[in-house]
């Protein structure tokens, strides 16, 4: 005879909550449209997906090409770009293609197809990236109601370096508070060298502030529901203006194919 009132599916749900490192991230995003995830929590989730050789992956930020499409004339942003498909078989790279954002989403740099240098084969097949993509796939599938969950996602990744050169500030999001025009966004900090500030701010669809935080340590991450919230990052300033500095991030977006 069972215990009256104990629903077996409820017990199973509690077990998952207690053991799955993604559960608190899902809960935060469902509640408020975003989550600020500290590095150790993200690391625990990634480890389950075969995460390895973080230093080797992070080193691939050292040879990114300059982004020549900055409408403000800035040459302070470097990036590599790649597209993938995530479906029940796994995550697969697509042929290189331009990145397109409409001007609705990016009044500064949108409205044109932008061809960025591709992510190198070494970085695209690196176990750290594969673990990040597999974890995003599981996280974003889990956040999407079954009724509207696509079989296949269009995934874009951007390796970004924002530089502070000769004392000049660098702007991580020169277009200001924005949405990426996708369904889900992960921004994961790779490194910060000789920079201060670079605060991430989150706003609702009326641009009212919902929260702010700073990604300071490797794997510190922001997860946003791009249909519900805006995001932006304040300029980064050099700690020591006599030396160059940079902020490196990986951005991963998922949208319905």
Binding site for Fe ion (CB under 5 A): 180
Tell me how far apart the alpha carbons of residues 180 and 201 are, in angstroms, rounded to a whole number: 14
Q: Give kind and range of the element (H or E) at residue 225.
A: strand 221-225
What's the CA angle centered on 164, arms 160 and 168, to 5 degrees? 135
Which residue's CB is nearer to Fe ion, number 51 or number 189?
189
Closest CB 49 distance from Fe ion, rounded Å: 24
Minimum gap (Å) between residue 224 Cβ and Fe ion:
8
Closest approach of Fe ion to the CB of residue 231, in Å = 6
Task: Rank residues 51 and 160 by Cβ distance to Fe ion and give the closer one.
Answer: 160
Minimum CB–partner distance for residue 158 and Fe ion (Å): 9
Nearer to Fe ion, 180 or 183 (CB): 180
Nearer to Fe ion, 43 or 154 (CB): 154
Residue nearest to Fe ion (CB): 180
Please state, in angstroms and rounded to a whole number, the distance separating the CA atoms of residues 146 and 69. Answer: 38
Q: Write out the two tokens for 229.
A: 């919230």
Contact 165, 153 (CB under 8 A): no
In 10 A of CB 181, how many CB atoms?
16
């Amino acid at each position: 005879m069972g215990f009256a009132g104990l629903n077996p599916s409820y017990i199973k749900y509690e077990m998952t909550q207690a053991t799955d490192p993604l559960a608190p991230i899902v809960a935060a995003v469902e509640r408020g449209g975003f989550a600020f995830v500290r590095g150790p929590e993200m690391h625990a989730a990634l480890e389950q997906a075969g995460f390895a050789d973080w230093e080797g992956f992070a080193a691939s930020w050292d040879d990114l090409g300059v982004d020549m499409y900055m409408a403000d004339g800035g040459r302070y942003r470097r990036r590599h770009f790649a597209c993938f498909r995530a479906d029940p078989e796994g995550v697969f790279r697509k042929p290189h293609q331009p990145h397109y954002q409409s001007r609705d989403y990016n009044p500064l740099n949108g409205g044109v197809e932008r061809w960025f240098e591709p992510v190198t084969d070494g970085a695209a097949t690196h176990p750290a990236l594969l673990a990040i993509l597999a974890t995003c796939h599981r996280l974003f599938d889990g956040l999407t109601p079954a009724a509207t969950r696509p079989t296949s996602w269009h995934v874009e990744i951007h390796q970004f370096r924002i530089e502070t050169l000769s004392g000049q500030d660098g702007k991580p999001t020169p277009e200001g508070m924005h949405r990426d025009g996708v369904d889900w966004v992960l921004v994961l900090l790779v490194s910060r060298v000789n920079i201060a500030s670079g605060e991430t701010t989150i706003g609702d669809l009326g641009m009212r502030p919902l929260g702010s935080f700073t990604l300071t340590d490797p794997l510190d991450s922001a997860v946003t529901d791009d249909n519900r919230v805006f995001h932006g990052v304040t300029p980064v300033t050099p700690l020591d203006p006599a030396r160059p500095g940079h902020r490196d991030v990986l951005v991963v977006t998922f949208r319905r194919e």
